[in-house]
Amino acid sequence: MFSVTGMHGFQLFSVTHLATLVVFFMACGVLVYLRNKPKRYPQMIKWTLLILLPACEISQQLWLILTHQWVVSDLPLQLCSLSTFLAIYLFLKRNEKVFYLFYFIGTLPPFLAMVTPEMVYTFPHFRFIEYFLHHSLLPLAALYFILYEGYRVPRKAILSSYVIANIIAVPIFILNQLLGTNFFYLASPTEAKTILTFFGTGIMYYINLEIAALIVFCITYIPMGVLQRVQRDGSRDSES
């Protein structure tokens, strides 16, 4: 389960992979179902997420260190690690502007990472479990903030969050040049075959990356926009 060389052979869209995605959607359904239940459930969900998020991040680092695999590129500076830190912060301190950024980078991107994962290990290897659990927890945390803490995202936050993400990417890009790393996948696509594989190379890779990021932000906003429109329509109906 913790071996470096064992349990290889992950297959994209295999029964195990699809079952994992089904479990994720079921967990989302549970959060929606429990939103009108007794108040103890929000606290249970909050603390479960708050404990598991750093546990995933820390356990991955420990596994890499203990198996003598850790290199500088394993620093927690990937997009999902940033999302993890933002989520932990939001659990400890309410901040709407921080949630705007978390919503855009912590929902659809982790889900896409689960759909086309950079993964060689199969279930029940530790890395498989940690990877999918970690990437599931991020959109689940966003769903928790929306359902249980009433966070909402205005349309104008699409552009502001996109700009902030690009500002954060600048020092990450420089760090990649200095360390020879690939944080945020700003140096090159993933080694495994994922969506980024089709973005080309050189300047076209960065152009496609920017376009894709903006498209992802816009798509991510759609359910939030629908939710807020339904709530506004419901308020008008109740007033009339």
Whether 2 is in a domain gets the answer no
Indicate the range of 73-77, 93-97, 146-150, 198-202 predicted with least confidence. Answer: 198-202
Whether 1 is in a domain gets the answer no
How far apart (Å, rounded) are the C-alpha atoms in residues 181 and 175?
8
Range(s) of the domain holding residue 221: 15-239
Is the pLDDT at 163 greater than 90? The verdict is yes
Whether 7 is in a domain gets the answer no
Q: At what angle do helices 126-148 and 96-105 cross, to 10 degrees?
A: 140
pLDDT at 239: 62
| Chain mean pLDDT for the chain | 91
Q: How large is the average pLDDT for residues 144-159?
A: 95
Between the alpha carbon of residue 205 and those of residues 164, 167, 214, the distances in Å are 20, 18, 14
Confidence of residue 240 (pLDDT cuts 50, 70, 90): low
Whether 156 is in a domain gets the answer yes
Confidence of residue 198 (pLDDT cuts 50, 70, 90): low
pLDDT at 154: 94
Is the pLDDT at 182 greater than 80? The verdict is yes
Between the alpha carbon of residue 81 and those of residues 47, 88, 138, 183, 208, the distances in Å are 19, 11, 10, 10, 23
pLDDT at 131: 96
Q: What is the pLDDT of residues 63-117, one digit of tens each?
A: 999 999 999 989 999 999 999 999 999 999 999 999 999 999 999 999 999 998 8
Whether 8 is in a domain gets the answer no
pLDDT at 143: 96
Q: What is the pLDDT of residues 113-143, one digit of tens each?
A: 999 888 899 999 999 999 999 999 999 999 9
Whether 121 is in a domain gets the answer yes
Domain count for the chain: 1
* Residue linked to tokens 């759909």: 115
pLDDT at 185: 85
92-97 long-range contacts, Cβ below 8 Å, gap at least 24?
94/149, 96/151
Whether 91 is in a domain gets the answer yes
Phi, psi of 43 (to 5 degrees): -65, -40
Whether 4 is in a domain gets the answer no
pLDDT at 25: 97
Name residues whose C-beta falls within 8 Å of residue 97's C-beta, 6 or more positions apart in sequence: none
Judged on CB neighbours under 10 Å (0-12, 13-18, 19+), 104 is buried
Indicate the range of 48-57, 126-135, 224-233 predicted with least confidence. Answer: 224-233
From the list 84, 139, 151, 99, the residue with the least C-alpha distance to 115 is 139
Cβ–Cβ < 8 Å for 113, 132: no
- Higher pLDDT: 240 or 139? It is 139
Q: How large is the average pLDDT for residues 180-200?
A: 76
Confidence of residue 167 (pLDDT cuts 50, 70, 90): very high
